[in-house]
A and B are shown apart, each in its own frame.
Chain A
């Protein structure tokens, strides 16, 4: 994987020194809060409900064991012993003190990490398929391009004050695990007549106006990527609205101008700037690609795996849910669930981080990933090592067999932490997971994505959950709206609102009614909730959610 070079290191040292001086000036009174706020946000430091929060970028979700250990050290030394992995492949520390943040940033810099551009109206952490470089279904590893985009967009002088924040996601697989259609720019690696390139999608986004992105260029040759992305950003920077922050994302520009007009403006800008690009980007990309050369996958018998799979039902259940096919023979991709039933989705203690770092170093070619689904991935594990990996995870409370099941819930921090939230998310996720675990229905229900947001900004991606839950403040009481039929993959769809919201103590029973209805309606265990919903439409599911209305109608 990519390691920071001298340029990166010098840049981060300089930025950290600047921020240290900015904190000192804030504390001495030389800077007002109004002056300091944009400076701290540029370095990922928010002020939340109970404390400051530091959001650290994990570029395209990739990190090594030394970086994970440093995150554990930071959690223990300067926070409350844990970190929270987010839906944008970042990690958040919920309790740092302002005076400690410069030291935390220096500690991150030691392992090639930073918090730059994790906030503000700039290009945010570029996210990627969390199985990148490992998945059997992949055309190519998207991370070299993601790293190229990171280098290009970091501190890019033209794009530090965009109308609004800007999110780019990239996938190298036709099976979209990066939710590319819900990003300002989504890039999907494709081939045309054997030539590699990208399908370029613009104008996706969730939040208060959920819209799926549209294809602005069906095939973009690989070498044109940076100038084309620059053309998109430049067009957006010129024509994106700055009069109303709720209409400032490129999705609104797209819908106000129309796809054809936006495309023609982007293409015109592209034609203008393309000649200025003379290949330096491609030579940098070639260097980056060498850094992402796959490890030499070892060849060994997989008997140990087969034996454990046959003999140990707990291992078998975990292997059935938490492993994914790997491109290299004898290997598997391991999803480490941070979603033990009743746990906070995305949280890992410092001890757990160290266990995962040790496993990556010993069995995983020193690589870890953070998924947008708030789990941790060991992308390359030889199958013979899986019983040992599973045993170590089990003793650390990290071996829950629920990847992709109903308790594998995405939940934003909600009103337990977030200053913007209108209701809590975490306890709803905890209670749903515990309820279905107690009912013993989790595996019978099968593939199910529940996503919970604690406000309209939709950090919990509720619009693309098979079942989405949105927490609102309704006349001073927490209230939860359900959306049905959302999908974040290559068959993306925005969920439809089911009807009136539910009170806090009604939401878990409502989800149980919904799941029992699905089990009775489905065309056998092979038909997932989403498939059943698409076949039957919303009516029978709404009837389960609102039985009284059905009674009145009858």
Chain B
């Protein structure tokens, strides 16, 4: 690949609920972004993405989303992904609902 690979997580929406989920190292899908596996190797990321695309009974539309390592796990590098892991800004719905409940 000519372009430098950006470290990424694999994310999608859960089939039944539509909720945002992330792929963990053990192949499970988690609603918690901190549990996501961070891929720093392009070939491995593509390989896992191909695997994720076969998970049609669990998720819809898996894709690679740029991320960086943080103290509590992978963190988004683009604001779109930051909104996906938080929820809308006009109501405390989505992920932030669970965070509020602790």
Contacts and interface: CB of A to CB of B under 8 A. Distances in A.
Interface string A23-36: 00011010011000
Interface in B75-93: 77-80, 83-84, 87-91, 93
B84 A427 contact: no
Interface in A423-455: 424, 426-427, 430
Given A47-B13, A49-B83, A427-B90, A476 B78 contact: yes
Interface string A91-128: 00011111100000000000000000000000000000
B93 A415 contact: no
Contact of B79 (A27, A97, A430, A476): A476
A32 B56 contact: yes
Contacts of A424: 83, 89
Given A415-B83, A476-B78, A50 B20 contact: yes
A161 B20 CA distance: 31
Interface in B17-37: 17-20
Nearest to B88: A416
A43 B78 CA distance: 32
Contact of A27 (B15, B20, B77, B94): B15
A229 interface: no
Nearest to A422: B80
A242 to B, nearest CB: 24
A478 to B, nearest CB: 7
Contacts of B18: 47-48, 50-52, 95-98
Interface residues of B, number: 25
A54 B62 CA distance: 21
A98 B87 CA distance: 19
Contacts of B84: 49-50
B16 interface: yes
Contacts of A352: none
Nearest to B13: A47
B4 to A, nearest CB: 16
Contacts of B95: 50
A50 B87 contact: yes
A371 interface: no
B60 interface: yes
A480 interface: no
A417 B60 contact: no
Contact of A416 (B16, B20, B77, B90): B90
A19 to B, nearest CB: 16
B61 interface: yes
A98 B14 CA distance: 10
B57 interface: yes
A47 B13 CA distance: 8
A284 interface: no
Nearest to A80: B93
Given A27-B16, A98-B16, A476-B79, A47 B61 contact: yes
A416 B89 contact: yes
Contacts of A97: 16-18
B90 A344 contact: yes
Contacts of A478: 79
A477 interface: yes
A50 B16 contact: no
A199 to B, nearest CB: 40
Considering residues A49, A95, A424, which has the most beta carbons from chain B within 10 angstroms of its beta carbon? A49
Contacts of A96: 18
A26 B20 CA distance: 19
A415 B94 CA distance: 13
A80 B96 CA distance: 14
Nearest to B87: A50
Contacts of A416: 83, 88-90
A50 B88 contact: yes
Given A47-B18, A50-B20, A33 B61 contact: yes
A477 B93 CA distance: 23
Contacts of B19: 50-51
Nearest to B80: A415
Contacts of A427: 89-90
Nearest to A34: B56
Which 5 A-B residue pairs are closest in the complex by CB-CB distance?
Answer: A416-B88, A51-B18, A52-B18, A50-B94, A344-B90
Interface of A: 26-27, 29, 32-33, 47-52, 80, 94-99, 344, 347, 415-417, 424, 426-427, 430, 473, 476-478
14 contacts: A33-B56, A33-B60, A47-B61, A49-B80, A49-B84, A50-B93, A50-B94, A51-B13, A80-B93, A98-B18, A99-B16, A347-B90, A416-B89, A476-B77
Given A29-B56, A47-B18, A51-B94, 16 more contacts: A33-B56, A50-B93, A51-B17, A80-B93, A94-B93, A95-B18, A97-B17, A344-B91, A415-B79, A415-B83, A416-B88, A416-B89, A426-B88, A426-B89, A426-B90, A473-B79
